[in-house]
Amino acid sequence: MKKVGVAILGLGVVGGGTYRILESHREFYQKTQNVDIFVESVLEIKREKALALGVPEEKIASNIAEVVADPDVQIVVEVIGGIEAAREYVLAALHAGKTVVTSNKELYCKYSHELEAAAKRHNAGLYYEGSCVGGVPIIRTLLDGLQANGIESVVGIINGTTNYILTKMGNEGASYEDALKEAQALGYAEADPSSDVDGYDASYKLSILASLAFHTKIPLSQVYREGIASVSAEDVRYGKQLGYVLKLLAVGKNTAEGIEVRVHPAFVPASHPLASVNDAFNAVLVHGDAVGDVMLYGRGAGELPTGSAVVSDVIYAATHSENKYSPFKNSEEAEKDVKFVSDFKSCYYLRMTVTDHAGVLGKIASALGKFGVSVGELIQERNRGAGTATLVLVTHGTAESAIRNAAAKIDELDIAKVDAVLRVAF
């Protein structure tokens, strides 16, 4: 039986989960995969953490050079996170001819071109299922399950922290601030939550997934990004009244006009499958030209779910002699002939405060009409005693530039102020 030694770099949440899975499932993989995968080495600064997990002291490496020099290590698992040290360690492993498995979405998003070039030069594998959507096998699905299709769109909820916050706001009426504090208390959000709530985490993942789906490099610089920090409980409430649920969506579309890649909050119809994806769960909806819609759902983060994705790559690498690389030219920037759409089209939700007297609606409709924006749904609520009313509109499909120009025109009027603009998906 083939023996494959693994080194794990970092025993944090994902690294610890990976170690536990590999140790507890060793005999199972021997029976089901006909391969003996064993942890040969770990690199962890806090040795007590490794010992507490049950790692034998003689398997705790002192530095990356010791790991890559070990002839019994064929696969190096990078789960330390961050950029600089991770990049250095991964390149060292690849230059030594070791296959690398990583869950580091920021590293892979920003430097996959460099890492893959090193892997090819040294005939090493490079796998990254754990970098996107936790335990949901979206990367393997795109590479090995849907390759018969031209993928037309990839739309998903791919950040568990923001989904938890928006679920609390939608189901319990919590404020953004209170929902964030609860997410932090439960460990769903970091003390500095900016990577999640400002949309960076989802943007890294969308760059990776859209590149795979559309067979061309989609650099991070092309991903439009907008977070959820400015979302108010009031907008969540009005959306619910209109039959919508607010989600942070990652949207990738391959259209005749070009490729759209964007991350932003969006209202989803309550009847849509993505609307029922709650708490820290994730889901990705892929549309192929042959298969139609395929949706994958599961836990988007965590010790064992992400560890499951990492180990799936370890098993794949251990049982396949031929290395697989990106099915597109993996350069630093997009190819020159690839067009990107920045002025994308959507329906829009607008909430505004207006003076409560006759003729206001006509002036607002006129301002919208100048930019070709038409209204599909409307709610008006009087703010008692204030002489104002809250007006909520949902437009028909229109261009991003049109809605921005219309909102600016409305703000110029002395009878209205636009308080919020959000997109409406599907």
For the chain, domains (ranges, CATH) are 2-132 (3.40.50.720), 138-298 (3.30.360.10), 345-424 (3.30.70.260)
What per-residue confidence (pLDDT) applies to 71?
A: 97
What per-residue confidence (pLDDT) applies to 390?
A: 96
In the residue annotation, 168 being an active-site residue is answered as no
Q: Using the Cα atoms of residue 286, residue 288, residue 293 and residue 295 in order, give the sign of their dihedral.
A: negative
Alpha helices in 350-418 (DSSP H): 360-369, 400-412
What per-residue confidence (pLDDT) applies to 16?
A: 96
The residue whose two tokens read 């290590």 is: 73
Query: Which 3 state secondary structure label does DSSP give 356?
Result: coil
One digit per residue, the tens of pLDDT, for the chain of length 426 reads 999 999 999 999 999 999 999 999 999 999 999 999 999 999 999 999 999 999 999 999 999 999 999 999 999 999 999 999 999 999 999 999 999 999 999 999 999 999 999 999 999 999 999 999 999 999 999 999 999 999 999 999 999 999 999 999 999 999 999 999 999 998 889 999 999 999 999 999 999 999 999 999 999 999 999 999 999 999 999 999 999 999 999 999 999 999 999 999 999 999 999 999 999 999 999 999 999 999 999 999 889 999 999 999 999 999 999 999 999 999 999 999 999 999 999 999 999 999 988 889 999 999 999 999 999 999 999 888 778 999 999 999 999 999 999 999 999 998 999 999 999 998
The span from the CA of 73 to the CA of 98, in Å, is 8
- C-alpha separations of 162 from 122, 181, 310 in Å: 39, 12, 23
The span from the CA of 238 to the CA of 234, in Å, is 6
The span from the CA of 309 to the CA of 312, in Å, is 5
Q: Which residues of 206-225 are buried (b: 16+ CB within 10 A; e: fewer)?
A: bbbbbbbbbebbbbbebbbb
What per-residue confidence (pLDDT) applies to 385?
A: 76
Enter the tokens of residue 421.
């603009």
**Of 120, 111, 132, the residue nearest 332 (C-alpha):** 111
What per-residue confidence (pLDDT) applies to 194?
A: 96
Q: Using the Cα atoms of residue 99, residue 104, residue 109 and residue 111 in order, give the sign of their dihedral.
A: negative
| Residue 92: its H or E element | helix 84-95
The span from the CA of 280 to the CA of 272, in Å, is 18
What per-residue confidence (pLDDT) applies to 313?
A: 98
Which candidate in 98, 105, 110, 205 is catalytic?
Answer: 205
The span from the CA of 156 to the CA of 272, in Å, is 12
pTM: 0.96
